[in-house]
Amino acid sequence: MPLIYHKKLPKGGELGFWQIAEPETFFLDRLELFPSEIHQLSKIKGRLRLEWLASRWLLHTMSGRTLRGACLKDEFGKPYLTDSDFDISISHSWDIVAIMAAPYAIGVDIQKEVAKITRIEKKFMRPVEKESLQDDTKIPHLHIYWGAKEALYKAYGRKKIGFVRHIHVDPFEYNLSIGQTTAAIHKETYHAYFDVFYEKVADCYMVYVIEKEN
């Protein structure tokens, strides 16, 4: 299945979704994986293999390049594209894969709705963020907060960061279809500020973040 969502971002950035309906062979026949990628793939089992392959194909499709570069991971596990200065962010949920790429710090997260998100609320919500929740929209609102913090974690890209202590999402009123807010990461000497955007796409909550210019 082709791209189901493709959005241009400021200064050459892009965001795209792919709904997986293909078998592994579809992607393997088209990707021409590098040895380092083949090694990565050999360690992945089950459905995650298909999501891994689809994400690399989507990244190449969005790049517009004739020859693809390898998509590898740095020492912190953050994906990057060889021979490119673009920041890369990858997310997947069920049969949807999302890719975000831009020449600045970014992050994307997608997820299907699950009621059990309330069980982990205390692990990522600050008291001031909780105050913005309303009973009738609590579940989707929590998904946006969680998605924002996941996306910000990816934008930071260095692990060892607390979702409550270090990642602050400015409280916002939840909109049923599309909305935005702002956020910040404060950890030791690192301070960064982001615009946060969210919307519902293909039955998924999609959240992406773009670092603000200094």
What are the tens digits of pLDDT across the range 93-121?
Answer: 888 999 999 999 999 999 999 999 999 99
Among 142, 159, 144, residue whose Cα is nearest residue 198 = 144
pLDDT tens for 125-154 read 999 999 999 999 999 999 999 999 999 999
Same-domain pairing of 127 and 71: no
Indicate the residue among 104, 124, 149 that finishes a domain: 104
Same-domain pairing of 144 and 79: no
Q: Are strands 204-211 and 167-169 parallel, antiparallel or unpaired?
A: unpaired
Same-domain pairing of 72 and 133: no
Residue 109: predicted pLDDT: 97
Element (H, E) at 111: strand 106-111
Same-domain pairing of 98 and 136: no
Same-domain pairing of 162 and 120: yes
Same-domain pairing of 78 and 16: yes
State the average pLDDT over residues 40-47: 94
Range of the domain at 28: 3-104
Same-domain pairing of 54 and 125: no
210 class by beta-carbon count within 10 Å (0-12 exposed, 13-18 middle, 19+ buried): buried
Indicate the residue among 48, 69, 104 that finishes a domain: 104
- Percentage of the chain beyond pLDDT 90 is 82
Residue 213: predicted pLDDT: 84
Same-domain pairing of 16 and 82: yes
Among 7, 194, 213, residue whose Cα is nearest residue 101 = 7
State the average pLDDT over residues 147-166: 96
Same-domain pairing of 9 and 48: yes
State the average pLDDT over residues 151-158: 96
Same-domain pairing of 113 and 181: yes
Distance CA 75, CA 128 (A): 34
Same-domain pairing of 83 and 15: yes
- CB-based contacts of 8: which residues, under 8 Å, 6+ apart? 14
Residue 203: predicted pLDDT: 84
Same-domain pairing of 171 and 201: yes
**3-state SS assignment for residue 167:** strand
Report the number of distinct structural domains present in the chain: 2
**Under a CB-based contact definition with an 8 Å cutoff, are residues 70 and 36 in contact?**
yes
Band the pLDDT of 183: cuts 50, 70, 90.
very high
- Percentage of the chain beyond pLDDT 70 is 99
**Under a CB-based contact definition with an 8 Å cutoff, are residues 108 and 98 in contact?**
yes
**Under a CB-based contact definition with an 8 Å cutoff, are residues 168 and 184 in contact?**
yes
Indicate the residue among 104, 134, 166 that finishes a domain: 104
Distance CA 116, CA 119 (A): 5
Q: What is the CATH number of the domain that holds 41?
A: 3.90.470.20
The pTM assigned to this predicted structure is 0.94
